[in-house]
Structures are given as structure tokens and as C-alpha cells.
Structure 1
């Protein structure tokens, strides 16, 4: 009876495989649970990054700074967060995941920032519908109905309203629109029964995913030893601490 033995992995091949795994996903050179200070560092990096992405966008909408309100400041924060992860030598795949989640959060933040500004200092007024376009069969507008409206003085708004504009809306109908009292964000239609928790909930999901990815990336970047110029390596930190 012949027994098949597994071919031993050559040392060079094993080292290359370990190096590739360490480069892509991070070395994670710890036994058991990761150090608590390392988890705290990942939480801090993720919270600061998510806060900078959302905070810069909200500040831009509040103070009327187009570069920040459009999410450009958030994208800069994403780049800074990715650079930090590169500096701690996190896994390349995890850096990519953090960057993708950060970009998604930065792209979602502008609409939520506008909603927050209107919720804080918005004023509701009635406008008159002048025309209705769009609908499920339209190419533009994502299948929404878009209403062109004018204020009480007959001055048309520069933006078309989709919130509150539906299939039954006709020219001459009135819609409720919320304006920014300082004119720094565009007006929006008011939907009956709608609340501001939806966009915030979606933004919270992206932010939570970003923080979690940062924690994993920082934790897996942990190395017990770092190469030095001499023939020996010394610990990067005291394992007993």
C-alpha cells in the first residue's frame, strides 16, 4: 500500500507566500487578541477620518464654501487617511477598502449636509408649479417627476423640485419648499411624512463601515520586529506592555 506524502513547501516559496500575505493583508504578528492600544489607535484613526470627511462637508454647506460643500474636502481627508495607513504599513488590500469606503462616504455627505443646514435654519414657503417633467419612463431624473416652480412673485426657481412632485401634480398646484435663510444651499421640496433620519442613517452606515475597516487595517499592521541596519532585529515595542 502506497502512502502519498504531501510535498514539503520549499523555504523560499514559503517566505514569498508569507511576504505576499503580509503585504496584501498586513502581518498581524500577535498571538491571541490584538493589543488594546492598537484597537484604540484604529478607532481613533477611523473616527478622525470619518469626522473630517463629514465635518468638512457640513462646514462647507453651513458657511457657503463650495469646495468643501461639494465633498472635495472630504476626498482630501480620504487621501490623508490612506496615506496614514501606508505610513503604518497596513495591508494594501485593506488600504484600498478604506479608500473606497471613504470615497463613498464623501460622495454621500453633500446631500446630507444640505439637509442638515435646511433642518437648522430652513424656512418653508409655498411655490406654484409651472411645469412637470420626468417620470418612470424618462431618461433623466432617475425616473422621478421634476417640477419647475415659481415663488409668490412669479420668479422661477433655478432648481427643479422632485420632493413632493408626483404623478398627480399639475401646473398651477402649490408645493411646500424649504429655503435656506442665508441662501447658501439650494431649496428642497417638502415630502409629507418624511423625516431627516433616512439620510443620516445611510451616512452612519458608511461611517461605521469606514471606522471598522480602519480598525482592521491598523490592527493587522502590527509587527513584533522591524528590520534594522544591524544583523539583529529589535522589538518594535515591549511585548509585555
Structure 2
């Protein structure tokens, strides 16, 4: 069930990103799959702690899947284009040193893109610099900066630890839900009744 839930979470998100269906692409269907897994674990009598752990891992996988699905779509059908940086924002200053540099960019026709780019945008980036971005010609996933790692395995590799943890937690929850019979309730061979100790 954990494997089925992980495949359903990632699969529905990938299908949504590929076909342009926002409820699927945004991970909402993945959250439904995580809730269904939690309900299944409750129905088989898994402990509350294990159900909670599996549910949290399912939610985490659902929240990570949209970015990976967008990366897969861009790796498969994305086109690379050069854009011009119009402004650079230092996200580290606003987030206490934890942020990234964000570049506002315009296409070759001078039209400002709606998304800000962080891949390829750094401290040395200045307005007027050129950045490479990859975009979906169908417009179903947002434009992003070109990553050094190209190809489908890269985006999906980030989901592997979450998926594996979900499968293991589900397996442990189901195995722990099975109760071994109490030896004191075994039939007494001599008297035909229940043995009492």
C-alpha cells in the first residue's frame, strides 16, 4: 500500500503537470492519496504513531512532487531561451541570510516574464546580463532557470528518499497491526477447553 500510495502521489502530480490540470499538478490529488493511505492504515489497526508518521511522509511527498513534476515536463518538452535580467533581488537580506538571489527577467522582445528566476541568478548577476531559461511551449508549467543537471532522472531523484520513507513507514505500520494470538488462549488438548495458567 505504501508503494501504491507513493506511485499514486507522484503519478497524479506528473499527469497533472503534463496535461495542465492544476488540481493534479499542484499536489492536491497527492494529498488525497496520502489521506487515503492514512485511512487504510487506520482500518487495518495500525498504531496511531505509525499512521501519523506515514501521513506526514505522504504529505511531504505530495508537497515535493509538483516541483519534480514540473522539472520532468521541462526536461522532456522544454525549450531553452536566452533572457535579459532586468533586476536582481537579494533574498538573503529579507530572509535573514537564508534566501536566494532572485532575478526578474524579460524575453528578447522586452516582455517581462511573470516568474522570477533563481537558478543561474547569483551575487555577480547584474541587470542587463543574459540568463538561460527553459520554458514549456504549451505554457502548462512555469519557466525556470536552466539547471546544470538535464534529463528526467534528476527531478525524480529528489523524490526517492520521500517515497522510500513512505513505503517503509507503511510497511512497518501494517506489520505492527497484525497481532499474534495470546498463548494462554490456546485450546487445552486434554480437556478440550481453553488452557488457563
What does 1:142-161 correspond to in 2, within 5 Å?
Answer: 142-161=98-117
Partner of 1:46: 2
User: Larger Rg: 1 or 2?
Assistant: 1
- CA shift in 2, pair 1:194/1:141, >3 Å: farther
**Equivalence map 1:5-154=2 (5 Å):** 45-139=1-95, 142-154=98-110
CA offset at residue 220 of structure 1? Answer: 1.0
- Is there any run of 5+ residues in structure 2 with no aligned partner, and where? 187-197
Gap regions ≥5 residues in structure 1 = 1-44, 226-231, 234-241
CA RMSD of aligned residues (A): 2.2
- 1:127-150 deviation per Cα after TM superposition (whole angstroms, max 9, x unaligned): 111111124323389421111111
Distance 2:102 2:91 in 1: 8
Q: CA deviation at 1:222?
A: 1.0
Matched, 1:194 2:149: yes
Summarize deviations over 1:134-179 as a string: whole Å, max 9, x none. 2432338942111111111111100011100111111111110101
Decide whether the 8 Å contact of 2:75 with 2:150 is kept in 1.
no
Total equivalences in the alignment: 184
Does structure 1 conserve the Cα–Cα contact (< 8 Å) formed by 2:72 and 2:155? Answer: no
Worse overlay, 170-179 or 126-135 = 126-135
- Secondary structure of the 1:124 match is strand
